[in-house]
Structure 1
Amino acid sequence: MTFADTCPDPQAIVPMMPLPEPPAEALLRARLLTMLGAAHRRGVPPSAELSARLTRLEAHLSACAFGRLRADARGLRRLATRLGLSEMARVAASVEDCAKRGDAAALGATVARLGRCGAGALGALRRSG
Protein backbone atom coordinates (compact mmCIF):
# COMPACT_ATOMS: atom_id res chain seq x y z
CA MET A 1 0.00 0.00 0.00
CA THR A 2 1.40 3.38 -1.00
CA PHE A 3 0.93 6.79 0.49
CA ALA A 4 -1.30 7.79 -2.43
CA ASP A 5 -3.65 4.91 -1.60
CA THR A 6 -4.02 5.92 2.05
CA CYS A 7 -4.12 9.70 1.61
CA PRO A 8 -7.60 11.04 0.85
CA ASP A 9 -8.14 13.36 -2.08
CA PRO A 10 -7.67 16.99 -0.88
CA GLN A 11 -10.84 18.02 -2.70
CA ALA A 12 -12.78 15.45 -0.70
CA ILE A 13 -11.60 17.03 2.55
CA VAL A 14 -12.06 20.69 1.65
CA PRO A 15 -15.09 21.44 -0.51
CA MET A 16 -14.53 23.67 -3.49
CA MET A 17 -15.30 27.21 -2.42
CA PRO A 18 -15.87 30.04 -4.87
CA LEU A 19 -13.09 32.58 -5.08
CA PRO A 20 -13.97 36.13 -4.03
CA GLU A 21 -14.51 38.67 -6.80
CA PRO A 22 -11.36 40.79 -7.27
CA PRO A 23 -11.75 44.55 -6.70
CA ALA A 24 -12.63 46.65 -9.75
CA GLU A 25 -9.35 48.57 -9.48
CA ALA A 26 -7.35 45.34 -9.72
CA LEU A 27 -9.30 44.25 -12.79
CA LEU A 28 -8.77 47.63 -14.46
CA ARG A 29 -5.07 47.58 -13.70
CA ALA A 30 -4.68 44.05 -15.06
CA ARG A 31 -6.52 45.02 -18.24
CA LEU A 32 -4.37 48.13 -18.66
CA LEU A 33 -1.14 46.21 -18.19
CA THR A 34 -2.22 43.57 -20.68
CA MET A 35 -3.39 46.01 -23.34
CA LEU A 36 -0.59 48.52 -23.06
CA GLY A 37 2.16 45.93 -23.25
CA ALA A 38 5.33 47.53 -24.60
CA ALA A 39 4.16 51.12 -24.08
CA HIS A 40 3.72 50.49 -20.37
CA ARG A 41 7.08 48.72 -20.11
CA ARG A 42 8.74 51.79 -21.68
CA GLY A 43 7.58 53.75 -18.65
CA VAL A 44 4.80 55.80 -20.27
CA PRO A 45 1.88 55.61 -17.83
CA PRO A 46 -1.52 55.67 -19.53
CA SER A 47 -2.64 58.57 -17.36
CA ALA A 48 0.23 60.73 -18.67
CA GLU A 49 -0.56 59.91 -22.29
CA LEU A 50 -4.26 60.55 -21.77
CA SER A 51 -3.57 63.86 -20.02
CA ALA A 52 -1.20 65.03 -22.76
CA ARG A 53 -3.71 64.20 -25.49
CA LEU A 54 -6.52 66.05 -23.71
CA THR A 55 -4.30 69.12 -23.24
CA ARG A 56 -3.35 69.10 -26.94
CA LEU A 57 -7.02 68.83 -27.95
CA GLU A 58 -7.91 71.92 -25.95
CA ALA A 59 -4.94 73.82 -27.42
CA HIS A 60 -5.99 72.87 -30.96
CA LEU A 61 -9.54 74.01 -30.23
CA SER A 62 -8.27 77.39 -28.98
CA ALA A 63 -6.18 77.77 -32.14
CA CYS A 64 -9.09 76.65 -34.38
CA ALA A 65 -6.76 73.96 -35.81
CA PHE A 66 -9.56 71.57 -36.74
CA GLY A 67 -7.33 69.23 -38.77
CA ARG A 68 -4.93 68.69 -35.90
CA LEU A 69 -7.81 68.45 -33.46
CA ARG A 70 -9.40 65.73 -35.58
CA ALA A 71 -6.14 63.75 -35.74
CA ASP A 72 -5.62 63.98 -31.97
CA ALA A 73 -9.26 63.04 -31.32
CA ARG A 74 -8.74 59.94 -33.49
CA GLY A 75 -5.65 59.02 -31.47
CA LEU A 76 -7.47 59.62 -28.21
CA ARG A 77 -10.38 57.46 -29.39
CA ARG A 78 -7.98 54.61 -30.15
CA LEU A 79 -6.22 54.99 -26.80
CA ALA A 80 -9.52 55.05 -24.91
CA THR A 81 -10.67 51.94 -26.78
CA ARG A 82 -7.44 50.13 -25.87
CA LEU A 83 -7.91 51.09 -22.22
CA GLY A 84 -11.53 49.95 -22.17
CA LEU A 85 -12.92 53.48 -21.70
CA SER A 86 -15.91 53.06 -24.02
CA GLU A 87 -17.72 56.28 -23.02
CA MET A 88 -14.58 58.33 -23.60
CA ALA A 89 -13.99 56.61 -26.95
CA ARG A 90 -17.54 57.46 -28.00
CA VAL A 91 -17.17 61.13 -27.05
CA ALA A 92 -13.78 61.31 -28.81
CA ALA A 93 -15.47 59.93 -31.95
CA SER A 94 -18.04 62.75 -31.65
CA VAL A 95 -15.22 65.30 -31.39
CA GLU A 96 -13.63 63.78 -34.48
CA ASP A 97 -16.93 64.03 -36.36
CA CYS A 98 -17.52 67.67 -35.34
CA ALA A 99 -13.98 68.58 -36.42
CA LYS A 100 -14.55 66.87 -39.77
CA ARG A 101 -17.71 68.93 -40.33
CA GLY A 102 -16.09 72.13 -39.05
CA ASP A 103 -18.94 72.72 -36.59
CA ALA A 104 -17.26 75.07 -34.10
CA ALA A 105 -20.22 75.36 -31.70
CA ALA A 106 -20.71 71.60 -31.40
CA LEU A 107 -16.96 71.11 -31.24
CA GLY A 108 -16.65 73.35 -28.18
CA ALA A 109 -19.39 71.42 -26.40
CA THR A 110 -18.02 67.99 -27.27
CA VAL A 111 -14.44 68.90 -26.33
CA ALA A 112 -15.77 70.15 -22.97
CA ARG A 113 -17.63 66.86 -22.50
CA LEU A 114 -14.50 64.94 -23.46
CA GLY A 115 -12.59 66.91 -20.82
CA ARG A 116 -15.11 65.85 -18.17
CA CYS A 117 -14.92 62.21 -19.29
CA GLY A 118 -11.14 62.48 -19.29
CA ALA A 119 -11.05 63.86 -15.76
CA GLY A 120 -13.03 60.87 -14.51
CA ALA A 121 -10.88 58.42 -16.46
CA LEU A 122 -7.65 60.01 -15.20
CA GLY A 123 -8.88 59.72 -11.63
CA ALA A 124 -9.69 56.03 -12.12
CA LEU A 125 -6.35 55.33 -13.79
CA ARG A 126 -4.38 57.07 -11.04
CA ARG A 127 -6.28 55.22 -8.31
CA SER A 128 -5.65 51.87 -9.99
CA GLY A 129 -1.96 52.15 -10.54
Structure 2
Amino acid sequence: AHTRLRFDYQQADATRTAFDGYTQRVGVCRDFAHLAITLCRCMNIPARYATGYLGDIGVPKDPAPMDFSAWFEVYLHGPEGPRWYTFDARHNRPRIGRIVMARGRDATDCAISTNFGYAHLARFDVHTDEVE
Protein backbone atom coordinates (compact mmCIF):
# COMPACT_ATOMS: atom_id res chain seq x y z
CA ALA A 1 0.00 0.00 0.00
CA HIS A 2 2.86 2.37 0.84
CA THR A 3 4.50 2.06 -2.57
CA ARG A 4 1.25 1.66 -4.52
CA LEU A 5 -0.34 4.99 -3.56
CA ARG A 6 0.92 8.55 -3.96
CA PHE A 7 -0.15 10.91 -1.17
CA ASP A 8 -2.00 14.01 -2.38
CA TYR A 9 -4.32 16.15 -0.21
CA GLN A 10 -5.80 17.67 -3.36
CA GLN A 11 -7.00 14.24 -4.50
CA ALA A 12 -9.01 13.48 -1.33
CA ASP A 13 -12.29 11.73 -2.17
CA ALA A 14 -14.75 10.74 0.54
CA THR A 15 -16.18 7.97 -1.66
CA ARG A 16 -12.89 6.34 -2.74
CA THR A 17 -12.89 2.60 -2.04
CA ALA A 18 -9.83 0.45 -1.42
CA PHE A 19 -10.18 -0.81 -5.01
CA ASP A 20 -10.38 2.78 -6.28
CA GLY A 21 -7.22 3.67 -4.38
CA TYR A 22 -5.48 0.62 -5.79
CA THR A 23 -6.44 1.44 -9.38
CA GLN A 24 -6.13 5.26 -9.15
CA ARG A 25 -2.81 4.96 -7.29
CA VAL A 26 -3.42 8.14 -5.28
CA GLY A 27 -5.04 9.08 -2.00
CA VAL A 28 -4.79 10.45 1.50
CA CYS A 29 -3.92 8.62 4.73
CA ARG A 30 -7.45 7.16 4.90
CA ASP A 31 -6.94 5.52 1.50
CA PHE A 32 -3.56 4.09 2.51
CA ALA A 33 -5.17 2.59 5.62
CA HIS A 34 -8.17 1.21 3.72
CA LEU A 35 -5.97 -0.48 1.12
CA ALA A 36 -3.68 -1.99 3.76
CA ILE A 37 -6.65 -3.23 5.80
CA THR A 38 -8.16 -4.82 2.70
CA LEU A 39 -4.90 -6.59 1.84
CA CYS A 40 -4.54 -7.86 5.43
CA ARG A 41 -8.10 -9.17 5.49
CA CYS A 42 -7.52 -10.93 2.16
CA MET A 43 -4.74 -12.85 3.94
CA ASN A 44 -7.05 -13.60 6.90
CA ILE A 45 -5.17 -11.19 9.19
CA PRO A 46 -7.56 -9.30 11.49
CA ALA A 47 -7.20 -5.56 10.78
CA ARG A 48 -8.98 -2.44 11.94
CA TYR A 49 -8.97 1.25 11.07
CA ALA A 50 -7.68 3.85 13.53
CA THR A 51 -7.75 7.62 13.39
CA GLY A 52 -6.66 10.52 15.54
CA TYR A 53 -3.88 13.08 15.74
CA LEU A 54 -0.35 12.43 14.52
CA GLY A 55 1.99 15.28 15.31
CA ASP A 56 5.47 15.85 13.93
CA ILE A 57 7.27 14.61 17.04
CA GLY A 58 10.53 12.78 16.37
CA VAL A 59 10.61 13.62 12.64
CA PRO A 60 12.09 16.59 10.75
CA LYS A 61 9.97 19.75 10.85
CA ASP A 62 7.47 19.91 8.00
CA PRO A 63 6.15 23.19 6.56
CA ALA A 64 2.73 21.49 6.33
CA PRO A 65 2.40 20.06 9.87
CA MET A 66 0.29 17.01 10.56
CA ASP A 67 -3.23 17.10 11.89
CA PHE A 68 -5.81 14.33 11.66
CA SER A 69 -4.38 11.09 10.41
CA ALA A 70 -5.45 7.53 9.74
CA TRP A 71 -3.51 4.32 10.25
CA PHE A 72 -4.39 0.70 10.84
CA GLU A 73 -3.87 -1.99 13.44
CA VAL A 74 -3.48 -5.73 12.98
CA TYR A 75 -3.99 -8.49 15.51
CA LEU A 76 -0.81 -10.59 15.61
CA HIS A 77 0.87 -13.08 17.89
CA GLY A 78 4.04 -11.37 19.12
CA PRO A 79 6.67 -12.03 21.79
CA GLU A 80 4.26 -10.96 24.54
CA GLY A 81 1.35 -12.92 23.11
CA PRO A 82 -1.45 -11.82 20.80
CA ARG A 83 -2.26 -8.12 20.66
CA TRP A 84 -3.07 -5.25 18.29
CA TYR A 85 -0.04 -3.73 16.54
CA THR A 86 -0.03 -0.28 14.94
CA PHE A 87 1.05 0.18 11.31
CA ASP A 88 1.01 3.26 9.11
CA ALA A 89 0.91 2.55 5.38
CA ARG A 90 1.40 6.21 4.49
CA HIS A 91 4.59 6.86 6.49
CA ASN A 92 5.78 3.23 6.56
CA ARG A 93 7.91 3.74 9.66
CA PRO A 94 7.29 3.86 13.41
CA ARG A 95 6.13 7.26 14.67
CA ILE A 96 5.63 8.56 18.20
CA GLY A 97 2.93 10.82 19.58
CA ARG A 98 -0.19 9.21 18.11
CA ILE A 99 -3.37 10.25 19.88
CA VAL A 100 -6.10 7.74 19.05
CA MET A 101 -9.59 9.19 18.74
CA ALA A 102 -11.44 6.22 17.25
CA ARG A 103 -11.08 2.66 16.02
CA GLY A 104 -13.44 0.71 13.80
CA ARG A 105 -13.89 -1.45 10.74
CA ASP A 106 -13.20 1.47 8.40
CA ALA A 107 -13.45 5.27 8.19
CA THR A 108 -17.26 5.11 8.29
CA ASP A 109 -17.07 3.82 11.86
CA CYS A 110 -14.68 6.58 12.91
CA ALA A 111 -16.20 9.93 11.99
CA ILE A 112 -14.19 12.76 13.53
CA SER A 113 -17.38 14.80 13.79
CA THR A 114 -21.02 14.30 12.96
CA ASN A 115 -23.31 17.19 12.24
CA PHE A 116 -26.77 17.80 10.86
CA GLY A 117 -26.98 20.53 8.26
CA TYR A 118 -24.27 22.98 7.28
CA ALA A 119 -21.23 23.29 9.52
CA HIS A 120 -18.57 25.86 8.64
CA LEU A 121 -15.07 25.11 9.92
CA ALA A 122 -13.50 28.53 10.37
CA ARG A 123 -10.21 27.38 11.85
CA PHE A 124 -8.52 24.21 12.95
CA ASP A 125 -5.19 23.91 14.76
CA VAL A 126 -3.53 20.91 16.38
CA HIS A 127 -0.36 21.28 18.43
CA THR A 128 1.58 18.36 19.87
CA ASP A 129 4.80 18.57 21.84
CA GLU A 130 7.01 15.93 23.32
CA VAL A 131 7.21 16.15 27.09
CA GLU A 132 10.04 14.82 29.23
TM-score, normalization: structure 1? 0.26
- Bigger radius of gyration, 1 or 2? 1
TM-score, normalization: structure 2? 0.26
Q: Which has the higher helix share?
A: 1
